[in-house]
């Protein structure tokens, strides 16, 4: 599946736009992330907030409820397969840290602009968020 998406991309920015036009940064001003599209149609994505507090090397079960909530709120990861239809990339999610993604399709509009990958989407259901934009640059390795 040769396509301009194929390869590894490093996250530069992640913005959320509310229904009233307000912009927020769900993972802060300097998020860390990687998305990779393989030629065989497989993909994965990992996004985390920079400077996440450590809960130590002890068993995750020893973390407090607050520490677990902070870890959950500051990261998302998923993997699966993908397909491209015009300017739409459809991620067929096999597993995710977000339970609602697992077993479902996540659709993103994309464009390559000045060597950067821009993924956007608009929420279909009414609510406080109207859409999100993620900007990526090619990763060296």
Sequence ranges of the domains in the chain: 7-138
Contact call for residues 123 and 131 (beta carbons, < 8 A): yes
The larger pLDDT score, comparing residue 77 to residue 140, is at 77
The larger pLDDT score, comparing residue 125 to residue 98, is at 98
Report percent pLDDT > 90 for the chain: 65
Predicted TM-score (pTM) of this structure: 0.87
The larger pLDDT score, comparing residue 11 to residue 69, is at 11
pLDDT in tens, 46-76: 999 998 887 766 666 778 888 888 888 899 9
Q: What is the pLDDT of residue 3?
A: 76
User: Mean pLDDT, to the nearest integer, of 115-125?
Assistant: 84
CATH number attached to the domain at 7-138 = 2.40.128.280
pLDDT band for position 78 (cuts 50, 70, 90): very high
Q: What is the pLDDT of residue 101?
A: 92
Statement: residue 108 has pLDDT above 80: yes
Q: Which residues, 6+ apart, have CB-to-CB distance to 25 below 8 Å?
A: 13, 14, 15, 16, 31
The larger pLDDT score, comparing residue 99 to residue 3, is at 99
Q: How far apart are CA 118 and CA 120, in angstroms?
A: 7
Q: What is the pLDDT of residue 1?
A: 44
Report percent pLDDT > 70 for the chain: 89
Q: How far apart are CA 80 and CA 5, in angstroms?
A: 15
């Amino acid at each position: 599946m040769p396509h301009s998406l194929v390869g590894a991309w490093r996250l530069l920015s992640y913005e959320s736009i509310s229904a009233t036009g307000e912009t927020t940064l769900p993972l802060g001003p300097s998020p860390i992330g990687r998305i990779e599209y393989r030629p065989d149609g497989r993909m994965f994505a990992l996004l985390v907030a920079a400077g996440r507090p450590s809960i130590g090397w002890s068993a995750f079960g020893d973390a407090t409820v607050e520490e677990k909530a902070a870890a959950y709120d500051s990261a998302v990861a998923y993997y699966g397969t993908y397909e491209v239809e015009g300017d739409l990339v459809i991620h067929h999610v096999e597993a995710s840290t977000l339970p609602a993604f697992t077993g479902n399709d996540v659709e993103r509009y994309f464009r390559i602009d000045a060597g950067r990958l821009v993924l956007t989407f608009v929420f279909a259901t009414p609510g406080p968020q109207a859409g999100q934009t993620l900007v990526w640059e090619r990763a060296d390795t």
